[in-house]
Structure 1
């Protein structure tokens, strides 16, 4: 490699002396390396004369191709270093939803601003689906509701939101400062099959199934916006994280569930075998945004 670099320098300066000076080595070292390379190739790369050197025809062909190879190698070394430092590459994320103004949206926006060389790929799906993708190494990080613990994955809480009830604005309860689970016991609940729908379903069952034998929960294969429009039209009520209230859906009133004492946690999950610096930089940014304890 050193012989090739020195040979390229001689071809650039057409002088062993000037090439040696530019490289910070002795002229004799440059001369010896170039001569050894010529002997190995069994061709003359340069014609020597009193005022310097000039490339032979064979030398021109050799130098043109070596220069391309050196440039590609230099690029490979630089980009590999950037990838190792977390400055280049792709980060594959699984999400349940992305609401403008939410913590997750702000986190990803700031991450992309701070890491312009990183391509952020986003896959939206249920927690179950995204965890399967994570375990299959198709995702680097997925965000899920709650603070789950997995034997084969690492997780940590990242942010939290109050739990809100979404009611039709014409609903009798919509005029209050909040609702309780007892207030909602006789309501028909609607949830999505996708997104956080399965978690919402399970949480409603956890809170009401024991004291509400006629609990009605209907599932729909719709997007978040459609579900909220259905709430506005009187299909039923639902429960959502506080970020959903940022959507300002006409005909829907969002009220806190007053006896839900703990906010809803949202966690990041990743494989312990994934040592990508991109994962750590994303979690580090969450720390910087003040919603998570420092990384150990």
Structure 2
């Protein structure tokens, strides 16, 4: 395949051509570029020979663009401007000043650690476009592996062989009961208290993990719990609890949501708070992602103090 002419022209020749077109004087252009007049003259002549086109008409006072030269300079000037913009944009992206960060989440509850993290990140890095996708942990990790997400935040501390993960924050686990429930007036509940209850869980968000946790904690207890799954949002789930459809369990951040008709009770026998982790690909070396993880680590230290 024949090589295109444009790919053989040195960028320096184009830049010197633009300078001569600006000053219409080879000596002045050479001074502006901090090079010799002979070097500029030689490059311009070599470019004209390569193109087979006369770009400048020489005279004793300087040079003048030919019509072909004027059209050539217009197109080259636009191309060099685009190249300059591309270089600057790439540099800003490499430094984390601009670009896009795609985040998978289970929920974004106002006042929660995750909401505060994303809010502070957007304040600190206004040039980064933050895109958020909500879904289950399983779906989020699948999108991460398909390079559609840069990082996902999930409940638990997953150990995935093809991903990096780090615990970011934790929340106590709470039982959510209707205000008129017999246990609603207690300061805490135990899992034994909830044996035989009807639990409501969601298909989305952390619903699958909540389902598995209930099954694990109440395995072998009698009477056995009933677990009903619904394709609903978090707010509707809390409303259903308030209306007496059943009970559920949530991380403490959910208690920040408006939830009339329900009470949130901590577990007396839950061994530790629920960890929440960031998961990302080891091949993602982007500065935007690193800045987010660094900010999360700083906020975690601040919250622990």
Q: Does the CA contact (< 8 Å) of 1:158 and 1:291 recur in 2?
A: no
Worse-superposed segment, 222-231 or 105-114: 105-114
Query: Would the aligned equivalents of 2:196 and 2:223 in 1 still touch at CA under 8 Å?
Result: no
2:137 maps to: 127
Q: More displaced, 174-183 or 13-22? A: 174-183
Give the alignment's TM-score, normalised by structure 1: 0.93
Equivalent of residue 295 in structure 2, options 257, 260, 285: 285
Structure 2 Cα separation of the partners of residues 40 and 204 of structure 1: 76
2:42 is aligned with 1:41:
no
Aligned to 1:219: 229
Mapped to 2, the partners of 1:76 and 1:27 lie a distance apart of 30
Query: Please, which of 11, 14, 22 is the counterpart of residue 32 of structure 2?
Result: 22
Q: CA deviation at 1:249?
A: 0.8
- Deviations for 1:184-228, whole angstroms, at most 9, x for unmatched residues? 223221111111111111111111122234222111111111000
Query: 2:222 & 2:162 partners in 1: Cα distance?
Result: 37
Residue 51 of structure 1: CA displacement? 2.2
Q: How far apart are residue 117 of structure 1 and its match? A: 2.1
5+ long unaligned stretches in structure 1: none
How do 1:269-280 and structure 2 match up within 5 A? 269-280=279-290
Partner Cα separation in structure 2 for residue 193 and residue 158 of structure 1: 24
Instruction: Give, in whole Å, the separation in 2 of the partners of 1:132 and 1:38.
Output: 55
Tell me the distance in 2 between the aligned counterparts of 1:26 and 1:177.
85
Deviation at 1:50, TM superposition (A): 2.3
Q: Tell me how far 1:104 sits from its aligned partner.
A: 0.8
Moved more, 66-75 or 46-55: 46-55
Write the deviation string for residues 226-263 of structure 1: whole angstroms up to 9, x where unpaired: 00000000111111001000002111111111221311
CA distance in 2, matches of 1:269, 1:72: 36
Query: Is 1:189–2:199 an aligned residue pair?
Result: yes
The aligned counterpart of 2:12 is: 2
Partner SS state of residue 30, structure 1: helix
3-state DSSP of counterpart to 1:289? helix
Pick from 145, 148, 163: which aligns with 1:138?
A: 148
Task: Work out whether 1:70 is the aligned partner of 2:45.
Answer: no
Between the two proteins, the alignment pairs up a number of residues equal to 292
Separation of aligned partners in 2, 1:21 and 1:176: 85
User: Alignment RMSD, CA only?
Assistant: 1.6
1:1-296 counterparts in 2 under 5 A?
Answer: 1-291=11-301
Contact 1:91-1:278 within 8 A present in 2 as well: yes
Q: Deviations over 1:41-64 (max 9, x none)?
A: 222211222222221111111111
Q: Can you give the 5+ residue segments of structure 2 that lack an aligned partner in the other structure?
A: 1-10
